[in-house]
Structure 1
Amino acid sequence: MSEYITIKENRDFSRLYRRGKSYVSPVLVTYVLKSKHNNLRFGITTGKKIGKAVKRTRARRVIRAAYYELYPELKQGYDIIFVARGKTPYVKSNVVYKAMRQHLAAANVLKQSL
């Protein structure tokens, strides 16, 4: 699991919210920004609107599972933030995976398949 680099600093989250391109669906919001370094970093945000701690934790777990499944297909050199929506804790990870794949394809972060 050490190959996954997470975004933890508030300034990095703020930078992505301000300057990143956003993609919205009913289960997920994705912010993408090209970064200076050659790493692929990601962060997950779940606000209090999602529910109590159990719901927020489930939302993070579902998003993380979808990201780990999609990780081998992603280009390096991007910062990505996933924001949970109200439906996120109630859906399976494959629903989040499909939304995440659409967002990242629109952002041109997926590797081109030959």
Structure 2
Amino acid sequence: MAFPFIKAMKKIIKIKENYVFRRSYRRGKSLVSPYFVIYAMPNRRNVPRLGITAGKKLGGAVKRNRAKRVITAAFRDCAPYIKPNYDFIIVARTRILNIKSTAAAESMLKLFREAGILKTDEKTVNRAD
């Protein structure tokens, strides 16, 4: 047990099918932040799934990949608190390039709380520690 303080990281199931993206854009609930737009849609699985879109408006491949990494890390931090039966499509905005994943996670939790997607009440999910 070399690093007892490191949490076991669960694998995030990624959405790759185009029809799931299109269906989420049409029927999903949109949650807007300065850093990204989240389309949340219930699914029949018992695990949350994540799809990320980073358009060329963000910049070259290096910037788009950084945006995806920041969003993935933020989602990984939020995953234990959200209801498991949802698909999330996250569209990156240009401001995501200027923040760290912790700030993105706080913004995500705020959006999930407002949408009622958190599985616990507001008191137990406090990121201000």
**Fold equivalence (TM over 0.5):** yes
The residue correspondences of 1:1-80 to structure 2 (distance < 5 A) are 3-80=11-88
Question: Mean Cα displacement is larger for which, 16-25 or 36-45?
Answer: 36-45
Match of 2:103 among 80, 95, 103: 95
**What SS is found at the alignment partner of 2:51?**
strand
Q: Deviations over 1:56-110 (max 9, x none)?
A: 0110011111111111111111111111001111211122111111111122111
Equivalent-residue separation in structure 1 for 2:63 and 2:92 (angstroms): 10
| Greater RCO, CA 8 A, separation 6+ | 1
User: Residue 53 of structure 1: CA displacement?
Assistant: 0.6
Q: Does 1:85 align with 2:93?
A: yes
Flag the 1:3–1:94 CA change in 2: closer, same or farther, 3 A.
closer
Question: How big is the alpha-carbon RMSD for the aligned residues of Structure 1 and Structure 2?
Answer: 1.4
**What SS is found at the alignment partner of 2:47?**
coil
**What SS is found at the alignment partner of 2:45?**
coil
Runs of 4+ in 1 over 4 A off after TM superposition: none
TM-score (ref. length: structure 2): 0.82
Seq. identity, %: 46
Equivalent-residue separation in structure 1 for 2:74 and 2:31 (angstroms): 16
**What SS is found at the alignment partner of 1:112?**
coil
What code does the residue aligned with 1:68 have?
A: R
Equivalent-residue separation in structure 2 for 1:71 and 1:24 (angstroms): 18
Aligned length: 114
What code does the residue aligned with 2:111 have?
A: H
